[in-house]
Structure 1
Amino acid sequence: MRGADVVAEARRWIGTPYVHQASVRGAGTDCLGLLRGVWRAVCGAEPEAAPPYTPDWSEPAGDEVLMAACRRWLVAKPLQDAAAGDVLLFRMRPEAVAKHLGIQAEVGPEAGFIHAFSGHGVIESPLSEPWARRIAARFAFPERTV
């Protein structure tokens, strides 16, 4: 049931405008804020506060800040082990840090994911080849903590 719960909650956020560093369903969110909001709904309180970050966060230093946070709080999975509700971490350019997040909504031939994208807000997109080849890591939500 966990994957279905994650997808259902993520879909509740569709239409939320893109607002950098925000995490309020219906008012504004970015990709990390979407993940934080879904976490609050399916797992409980956030395990750590998100520090302030710029749109190019961690790029100048080349630090995998988002990857490290995902490894601390989510359950790593093999890339090929796709399931609805998985958290996808994307590397937007080869050799760049991974810094975009989405939630897998569908698997198989109609694979799709939900994400907050600048200029679009929270949308559900096909997990087309251009997106799929950018997946740097796949994670599952942990068991409920509350």
Structure 2
Amino acid sequence: MTLAHSFIVDEARAWIGTPYIHQMAARGAGTDCLGLVRGVWRAVVGSEPERPPAYSMDWSEPQGQEQLWAAALRHLSPKTVSLAACGDVILFRMREGGVAKHLGIQSDVGTAPKFIHAYSGHGVVESPLSAPWARRIVARFQFPDVEAD
């Protein structure tokens, strides 16, 4: 793991225990999955390039628009989904036919991969990237100016 990747994972781990609060992005106070990535962005890259609009829990589902994916493409560097590295931002489609609307940060690779995410009812946790989670990954990104492993 490069120093940059280590810094990303360390910063994401610093958010563990932050309660889940929809639309927030404040370490220790409250965050959702997008807020976690926004907070890590602020620590790794600097000021946020855009503020997300107010969004509901079913964000972009009624329109069927991949708004979160489009935003990720505007600000993160896309990667091949199978080329996992620590510090990657991973985008999940939680149900077949739905829009992709959950984010996490890969914290470990190899035989026991893990990721950090803000999960409703649980707050920010580090979870095994088990088969049920892995099959929901639809895109993978890296923060700008971070070299691939």
Structures share fold, TM-score greater than 0.5: yes
Three-state SS of the structure 2 residue aligned to 1:69 is helix
Q: Provide the residue aligned with 2:96 in structure 1.
A: 94
Query: TM-score scaled by structure 2?
Result: 0.95
Corresponding letter in the other structure for 2:81? L
Among all aligned residue pairs of Structure 1 and Structure 2, give the percentage whose two residues are the same amino acid.
Answer: 65
> How big is each residue's C-alpha offset from its partner over 1:92-128, in whole Å with a ceiling of 9 and x where there is no partner?
0112100000000000111000000000000000000
Q: Which runs of 4+ in 1 moved over 4 A?
A: none
Structure 1 residue 2: Cα displacement: 1.6
1:29-40 alignment runs, 5 A limit: 29-40=31-42
| Aligned match of 2:44 | 42
TM-score of the aligned structures, taking structure 1 as reference length: 0.97
Offset at residue 62 of structure 1 (A): 0.2
Aligned mates of 1:95, 1:108 — CA distance in 2? 29
Cα drift, residue 43 of structure 1 = 0.2
* Alpha-carbon RMSD: 0.8
Superposition pairs for residues 1-146 of structure 1, below 5 Å? 1-143=3-145
Q: State the AA in 2 paired with 1:75.
A: S
Amino acid at match of 2:61: E
The 1-side partners of 2:81 and 2:128 are apart by: 17
Q: Distance in 2 between matches of 1:95 and 1:72?
A: 23
Distance 2:113 2:123 in 1: 20
For residues 9 and 100 of structure 2, the distance between their equivalents in structure 1, rounded to whole angstroms, comes to 22
Q: Cα deviation per residue 1:58-94 (whole Å; 9 max; x = unaligned)?
A: 0000000000000000000001100000000000011
Q: 1 CA distance for matches of 2:30 and 2:22?
A: 8
The alignment of Structure 1 onto Structure 2 pairs a total of residues equal to: 144
